[in-house]
Amino acid sequence: TAGSRPWVDQDLQDDTEITATEDEDVDLADSHEEEELPHVAFSLPRHTEEAALKRSKDFYNLMNQRRSVRFISPEPVPRKVIDNVIRTAGTAPSGAHTEPWTFVVVSDTEMKHQVRLLVEEEEEMNYRQRMGDKWVQDLAKIRTNWVKEYLDVAPYLILIFKQTYGTLPNGKKKTHYYNEISVSISCGILLAALQNVGLVTVTSTPLNCGPRLRLLLKRPANEKLLLLLPVGYPASDATVPDLKRKPLEEIMVHV
Ligand code: IYR
């Protein structure tokens, strides 16, 4: 229950969190079992006001061009670029620096196809039964459905798992505080890193596919699927819905 795990925000609990409780709180390590950490001096180069203003605009312009793209080119993407994008995601802050993330990169054609078959099977049930009429109607304007061609076509699938707990060298369980928000933040940084190199993705959250995808990818039971990102260059005939973003005045209040 959340009572014994105060770092689990009840509003953020999902079904994967609840099913995890059965194997939680078992032989948890005490913090004193971990080593002391030295603190070292820190500084960053300071930008002039003009330089900071230009950099803030440039970064906004870059990120404002990001779109969820469902039409991905089969063109290959250098593996080292993907490695660096994931290194970047791994710089995210995390609860007590537990780094509770696993990024599973799939490029094998047959494995991508197995992922597609599994996701399409569940998504067809999602759209036809589980999501309900209102949800399906709300999505109609985005023109999505359960057919996910990008899962075969994209050169890479990145499946991001949150580790609900870790294991210490002595075999005891290590508490991964705030693991869901920590991994969510790393996903945001990953999206920015992809945008920075001209790659596209769509933040897909395949409903009810997590447990089967975990088994397909041979991931351990402490890992729960958070996001599935197909990654590649945009297809030359890619289209996106003509969405508009809220202006600053609608998303910011200044006190
Ligand atoms: N997971 C489904 C449905 C879906 C849900 C939302 I909320 C979206 O913004 C888009 C799709 C799918 O991937 O099709």
Smallest CA separation from ligand 1 atom 8, residue: 139
Asked whether residue 12 carries a pLDDT value surpassing 60, the answer given is no
pLDDT of residue 33: 55
Asked whether residue 170 carries a pLDDT value surpassing 90, the answer given is yes
35-54 CB burial, b ≥16 within 10 A, e <16: eeeeeeeeeeeeeeeeeeee
**CA separation for the pair 90, 187 (Å, rounded):** 9
Residue 226 CA to ligand 1 centre (angstroms): 14
- 3-state class (DSSP) for residue 7: coil
Complex ipTM? 0.90
Cβ atoms 227, 160 nearer than 8 A: yes
Proportion of the chain above pLDDT 70, given as a percent: 87
Amino acid at 63: M
Residue with more model confidence, 2 or 100: 100
Asked whether residue 15 carries a pLDDT value surpassing 90, the answer given is no
Smallest Cα–Cα separation from 104: which of 159, 182, 181? 159
Handedness of CA 9, 15, 20, 24 (dihedral sign): positive
21: left (phi over 0), alpha (psi -120 to 50) or beta: alpha
Tally: H helices and E strands in the chain: 9, 5
pLDDT of residue 153: 98
Return the best residue to mutate from 143, 147, 201, 205 for the ligand 1 pocket (most ligand atoms within 8 A of CB). 205
pLDDT of residue 35: 74
What is the pLDDT confidence band of residue 6, given thresholds at 50, 70 and 90? low
The reply to whether the predicted model has a pTM over 0.80 is yes
pLDDT of residue 28: 76
Asked whether residue 141 carries a pLDDT value surpassing 80, the answer given is yes
Is residue 122 within 6 Å of ligand 1 at its C-beta? Answer: no
Asked whether residue 32 carries a pLDDT value surpassing 70, the answer given is no
The minimum-distance atom of ligand 1 relative to the CA of 131 is 3
Return the best residue to mutate from 130, 139, 141, 202 for the ligand 1 pocket (most ligand atoms within 8 A of CB). 139
Proportion of the chain above pLDDT 90, given as a percent: 86
Mean pLDDT of all residues in the chain? 91
What value does the mean pLDDT take over residues 195-218? 97
Residue 80 CA to ligand 1 centre (angstroms): 30
pLDDT of residue 23: 46
pLDDT in tens, 154-168: 999 999 999 999 999
Asked whether residue 214 carries a pLDDT value surpassing 70, the answer given is yes
What value does the mean pLDDT take over residues 13-35? 53
**Which of 4-18, 71-85, 146-160, 161-175 has the weakest average pLDDT?**
4-18
pLDDT in tens, 90-137: 999 999 999 999 999 999 999 999 999 999 999 999 999 999 999 999
pLDDT of residue 22: 44
